[in-house]
Each structure stands twice: as structure tokens, then as C-alpha cells.
């Protein structure tokens, strides 16, 4: 198998982190602030705990099936027919979720980087560059994430440090002012943004030192949680809760306000968005690779290069489904979140408990 190579600890860590940090960080603070207001950072902490539980269940599910791929696991769990059907449905569900994030990212690129370029052209360019990376195979995907990791996080960290002097941290107080239902809803909103965790199904069976998997999963989860929590705290502390909830891209608004006030670095927010293009591609490529990898295994397609072509029309069509940005950031995401939630329950939670019961019965 061409893509089968052994992944080092660093490759696993960087690929998981890069796959989960994407364009959602631009609009995520707005989504969460509408639900739990100044308690958004608490939801980030809760999301981190939930994310680790999900990753732990994925690892346990793979381990109980002798580190087989996700399609084989679903076949073992539900039978060949239903396993293939569930795998195909999950693959399509992730493609639909990917298409929504693609539309959001294309809107960001059009507004802030290529305002004179047609949206359709931006989407086509993003798709074909992403598919070029996918066709390179899993090894190239991991190497890509290893290279860009520090290149991306160092400038973003500097930006966040510049936001500290102007932040009013009283804006994140008081705490624990919302109901458990509201916290649960906000946690799911955040979890929807880190949907790139699905690449773990592809990565974990190929990890060289499997004894370190749980440690790497814990480190990557903490990194994601800390990064999201700090960003949301600084966005809220710089803009206020009301402005964070009203803005479509509150993170970009914060970056621009830092640039105006400090006068230290001209158009630093533009540089960050240019770097974020790479971050988005890490998320896009990982999710797209995961979905096409499943299709390849379901239909016994010989090469990922052939499977990668199958979803191009669907991704393009679904990314153009929302009429405008307002539809994406209001009621437009509801059906996609339902699809994501149902897929999460069946493929991970239900499969985990079925395999756990089978293991205990056979012991």
C-alpha cells in the first residue's frame, strides 16, 4: 500500500493540531458568545475535555480492532453491508461539513485578500490546490503539517501577545452565569469547529510507537484547548461580549484593532490571514483525505489519486449552497450540525460501546 508508512510522534501531534485549528477560529468566538456570552472561555475548557474523550474513544475503538482502518472497523461492528453504508454516509457527512467551512474560508479570502475575484473562482482554486495535496498521499500530508507547524504558530503567538496590553479582562466576568443546556450547546458549537479530528482514524493505525498514542492525544488536545481558550478570552477582552457576538469575524476585528492601536507592524493582520491559508489547507486536506480514504476502502479503489476526484462536484456544489454569508452564520448551519452530530453518535459513540460489549463477552 503506497500510503502506508510509520508516523512519528511529532507527525501525529502536528497533524492532529493543524487538522483541528482552522478558519473556525475566525468566526467561532461569535457563535459561542451568542450562547454563553462572557462564559465562552469556560465552554472552551469543557470542549477540550469532550474532545479528549472522543479521541480516547477513537483510539480505544481502533485498538479493540487490532489497529484496522475505520471501514474495516465499521464492517466488523455492523456487518459488511451496513458497515459500508455507514462508512459512506459518514464520508459524505464530513464532505458536507468540509464544504461549509470551505465557503466560510472562501468568503474570508474574497473579503480580505482577493476582493475583486469572483467567489466561484476562489472556491475552485482552493479545491484544486487542496486536492493536489491529497493526491500526494498521507506521507506528504504529514510532512506538510510538520513543516508549517512552527511557521504558523510563532507569528500567531506574537499577535496574541500584542493583544494582552489592550485587553480588559473584567469583560469575561462574572463566570458560571448560564444553564447547563447553554454550556452543552456552546460546547457542541466549538466541537463542530474542530471536526478535523476525524483524521485520527487514518493516523492512529500507522503510528510507529503506539504506546505513546494516548500521551500525544492528550498533548494535542491540551494545545487545541489552550489555543482556543486564550484566543476567545483575548477577543472578548478586547472587543466586549456584544461586539464579539455581532461581528462575523471577531478575531480579525481584534487583529485589526491591535494593528491600529500599536502602529508597530503594518498590515500584520494581512500577514496572519496569509499564513492562515496554510492552516486552512491543513484542515481541508486532512478532512478531504479522510473522506476519500474511506471511499477508496469501501469500493476497493486502487489509488487515493482516483478516489480524490470523486467528491469534487459535491464539494463545489455544497460550498455554493448558502446564498450569502448571513445564511451561513445564522440558521444556515443547523442542518449541517445535525448531520455532524448524528454521524458522531453512530460512528464513534455507538461503535465504541458495541465493540466494548463484544470484547467483554469474548473475554
Q: Convert 87-102 into a string of H (helix), E (strand) and C (coil).
A: HHHHHHHHHHHHHHHH
Q: Within 13 Å and on the Cβ side, how many CA atoms surround 234?
A: 26
pTM: 0.90
Asked if the model's pLDDT at residue 323 lies above 70, the reply is no
Q: What is the pLDDT of residue 142?
A: 92
Which of 6-15, 67-76, 97-106, 214-223 comes out lowest in average pLDDT? 97-106
Task: Name, in order, each residue with C-beta under 8 angstroms of 44's C-beta and a sequence gap of 6 or more.
Answer: 32, 190, 225, 228, 229, 232
Region 284-295: what's the mean pLDDT? 93
Q: Which of 104-108, 160-164, 188-192, 197-201 has the highest mean pLDDT?
A: 197-201
pLDDT one-digit tens code per residue, 187-225: 998 998 888 899 999 999 999 999 999 999 999 999 999
46 within a domain of the structure (yes/no): yes
pLDDT bracket for residue 113 (50, 70, 90): confident
Helical spans, DSSP H, in the chain: 9-20, 24-36, 40-64, 70-78, 80-112, 119-135, 138-163, 180-193, 200-203, 213-239, 241-246, 250-262, 268-298, 304-310, 312-319, 325-329, 334-344, 351-362
The residues with which 7 forms a beta bridge, in sequence order, are 207
The verdict on residue 2 lying in a domain is no
Provide the pLDDT confidence category of residue 103 given band limits of 50, 70 and 90: confident
Cα–Cα distance measured from residue 158 to residue 230, given in angstroms and rounded to the nearest whole number: 13
List CB contacts of 140: < 8 A, sequence separation 6 or more: 133
What value does the mean pLDDT of the chain take? 87
Q: What is the pLDDT of residue 326?
A: 60
Q: 280 in a domain, yes or no?
A: yes
Confidence of residue 274 (pLDDT cuts 50, 70, 90): confident
User: Is pLDDT above 50 for 101?
Assistant: yes
3-state secondary structure of 118: coil
Query: Cβ(112)–Cβ(280) under 8 Å?
Result: no
- Residue 201 has a pLDDT of 95
* pLDDT at residue 325 greater than cutoff 80: no
- And the C-alpha cell for 358? 463484544
Name the 3-class secondary structure at 306: helix
* Per-residue exposure over 20-41, b if at least 16 CB sit within 10 Å of its own CB, e if not: bbbbbbbbbbbbbbbbbbbbbb
Does pLDDT of 65 surpass 60? yes
pLDDT at 1 over 50: no
Query: Which one is predicted more confidently, 113 or 145?
Result: 145
What is the mean predicted confidence (pLDDT) over 311-339?
74
Q: Are 10 and 220 in contact (CB under 8 A)?
A: no
Q: CA 167, CA 165: separation in Å to the nearest integer? A: 6
Q: Which domain holds residue 123?
A: 9-362
The pLDDT of residue 111: 78
16 near 217, Cβ under 8 Å? yes
CATH number of the domain encompassing residue 184: 1.20.1740.10
Domain count, the chain: 1
User: Are the beta carbons of 145 and 18 closer than 8 angstroms?
Assistant: yes
Say whether pLDDT at 3 is over 60: no
Mean pLDDT of the 153-157 span: 82
| pLDDT for position 199 | 93
Per-residue pLDDT tens digits for 117-127: 898 998 998 89
C-alpha cell at 231: 484566543
Locate cell 472497523: which residue?
A: 73
Residue with cell 460550498: 319
Q: How many helices (H) and strands (E) does the chain have?
A: 18, 0
Asked if residue 324 belongs to a domain, the reply is yes
Residue 328 pLDDT level (bands cut at 50, 70, 90): low
In a domain, 36, yes or no: yes
Q: Is 3 a member of any domain? A: no
Among positive and negative, which fits the CA dihedral 331, 332, 335, 336? negative
Given pLDDT bands bounded at 50, 70 and 90, which one contains residue 269? low
3-class DSSP state of 115:
coil
Nearest to 71 by CA among 308, 294, 313: 294
161 assigned to some structural domain: yes
Is the pLDDT assigned to residue 261 strictly greater than 70?
no
Structure confidence at residue 112 (pLDDT) = 74
Determine, yes or no, domain membership for 328. yes
Q: What is the mean pLDDT of residues 141-168?
A: 86
Sign of the torsion angle spanned by Cα atoms 326, 328, 330, 331:
positive
Amino acid at each position: 500500500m503506497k500510503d502506508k508508512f510509520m508516523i512519528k510522534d511529532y507527525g501525529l501531534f502536528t497533524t492532529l493540531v493543524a487538522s483541528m485549528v482552522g478558519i473556525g477560529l475566525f468566526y467561532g468566538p461569535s457563535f459561542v458568545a451568542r450562547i454563553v456570552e462572557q462564559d465562552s472561555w469556560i465552554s472552551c475548557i469543557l470542549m477540550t475535555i469532550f474532545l479528549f474523550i472522543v479521541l480516547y474513544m477513537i483510539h480505544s475503538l481502533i485498538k479493540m480492532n487490532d489497529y484496522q482502518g475505520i471501514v474495516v472497523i465499521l464492517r466488523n461492528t455492523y456487518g459488511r453491508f451496513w458497515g459500508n453504508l455507514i462508512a459512506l454516509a459518514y464520508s459524505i457527512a464530513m464532505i458536507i461539513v468540509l464544504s461549509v467551512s470551505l465557503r466560510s474560508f472562501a468568503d474570508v479570502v474574497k473579503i480580505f485578500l482577493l476582493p475583486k475575484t469572483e467567489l466561484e473562482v476562489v472556491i475552485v482554486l482552493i479545491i484544486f490546490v487542496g486536492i493536489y495535496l491529497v493526491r500526494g498521499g498521507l506521507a506528504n500530508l504529514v510532512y506538510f503539517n510538520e513543516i508549517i507547524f512552527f511557521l504558523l504558530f510563532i507569528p500567531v503567538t506574537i499577535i496574541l501577545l500584542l493583544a494582552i496590553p489592550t485587553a480588559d479582562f473584567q469583560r469575561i466576568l462574572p463566570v458560571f452565569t448560564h444553564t447547563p443546556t447553554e454550556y452543552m450547546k456552546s460546547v457542541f458549537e466549538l466541537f463542530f469547529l474542530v471536526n478535523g479530528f476525524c483524521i485520527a482514524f487514518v493516523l492512529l493505525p500507522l503510528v510507529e510507537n503506539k504506546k505513546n498514542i494516548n500521551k500525544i492525544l492528550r498533548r494535542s488536545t491540551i494545545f487545541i484547548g489552550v489555543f482556543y481558550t486564550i484566543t476567545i478570552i483575548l477577543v472578548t477582552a478586547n472587543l466586549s461580549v456584544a461586539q464579539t457576538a455581532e461581528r462575523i469575524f471577531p478575531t480579525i476585528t481584534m487583529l485589526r484593532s491591535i494593528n491600529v492601536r500599536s502602529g508597530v507592524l503594518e498590515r500584520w493582520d494581512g500577514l496572519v490571514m496569509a499564513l492562515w491559508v496554510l492552516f486552512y489547507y491543513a484542515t481541508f486536506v486532512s478532512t478531504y483525505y479522510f473522506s476519500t480514504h474511506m471511499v477508496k476502502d469501501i469500493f476497493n479503489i486502487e489509488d487515493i489519486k482516483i478516489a480524490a476526484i470523486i467528491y469534487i462536484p459535491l464539494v463545489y456544489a455544497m460550498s455554493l449552497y448558502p446564498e450569502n454569508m448571513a445564511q451561513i452564520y445564522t440558521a444556515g448551519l443547523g442542518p449541517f450540525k445535525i448531520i455532524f452530530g448524528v454521524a458522531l453518535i453512530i460512528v464513534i459513540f455507538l461503535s465504541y460501546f458495541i465493540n466494548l460489549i463484544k470484547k467483554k463477552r469474548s473475554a
